[in-house]
Amino acid sequence: MKKLLIASTSTVHGSNYLAYILPTLKKHFKGVHEIIFIPYARPGGISYDGYTKKAKEAFEKIGISIRGIHEFDSAKNAISNAKGIFTGGGNTFELVNQLYKNDLITVLKEVLTNGIPYLGTSAGSNICGVTMMNTNDMPIVYPPSFDTLGVIPFNINAHYLDPDPDSTHMGETREMRIKEYHIFNETPVLGLREGSWLEVLGNTITLRGSLTARCFQPNKEAIELTPDSEVVFH
């Protein structure tokens, strides 16, 4: 049975890394003593070691140790034998590029489908969808495919932003960009606001946190999903 936490962000305003979700993580990873961390997204160009250190410091607060996947001789074996997995945020293009380069897409999907507890934040959440095509990131590298894990039946737009009526910015809103996507694609999209996450238990997907999420489907008006509601696209 799938056991996933799919979070829009790792850090909410005014808080430390993962602090807002640590109580939830303690329950989610109950009984897990070591988690494999996937640092491939490299936010701001940080090194794998530097990023792993950041994750390690956060998880130490709930008594769980972290090992970066790059520390293993075989990344595939590390995923196959993992008791828990965390994929951090950063650039989704580079994350997906490295997952393909290290031949991890299939094995990662397999272990998550079989119930290994998983946390994704930002880019690490984007990869849970059908494709990575609703990322906000710059295409700094060209992955072999935009197809991702598909452990949920829709795409994620992390860090979803509502239009600011006082802004002088004249470019596209996030909603406009998702509507452009739906001219050419059928996959539903869920806009996750900062501080919100999805709890996936088996085939049940529930919105958690205090904010609504915005649901987009082709040829339909976007709707707001209330906290603690099941995510179902009709």
Catalytic option among 10, 28, 70, 122: 122
Amino acid at 156: I
Q: Is 28 a catalytic residue?
A: no
Question: pLDDT, tens digit, for every residue of 140-160?
Answer: 999 999 999 999 999 999 999
Task: Name, in order, each residue with C-beta under 8 angstroms of 103's C-beta and a sequence gap of 6 or more.
Answer: 76
Tell me, yes or no, whether 22 lies in a domain: yes
Residues of the chain with pLDDT under 50: none
Q: What is the CATH number of the domain that holds 211?
A: 3.40.50.880
Which pLDDT value is given to residue 234?
72
Q: How far apart are CA 23 and CA 207, in angstroms?
A: 16
Catalytic option among 137, 167, 229, 234: 137
Tell me, yes or no, whether 234 lies in a domain: no
Q: Is 182 a catalytic residue?
A: no
Write phi, then psi, for 155 (nearest 5 degrees).
-105, 160
Decide: helix, strand or coil at residue 151.
coil
CB atoms near residue 133 (< 10 Å): 18
pTM attached to this predicted model: 0.96
Chain centroid to CA 119: 7
Yes or no: say if 208 and 196 are a contact pair by the CB < 8 Å rule: yes
Number of domains in the chain: 1
Which pLDDT value is given to residue 168?
67
Chain centroid to CA 166: 30
Q: Is 125 a catalytic residue?
A: no
Which residues are paired to 179 by β-bridges?
Answer: none
Amino acid at 16: N
Tell me, yes or no, whether 232 lies in a domain: no
Tell me, yes or no, whether 86 lies in a domain: yes
Tell me, yes or no, whether 233 lies in a domain: no
Amino acid at 30: K
Tell me, yes or no, whether 231 lies in a domain: no
Catalytic option among 159, 162, 182, 210: 159
Which pLDDT value is given to residue 172?
81
Which pLDDT value is given to residue 233?
86
Tell me, yes or no, whether 193 lies in a domain: yes
Which pLDDT value is given to residue 163?
74
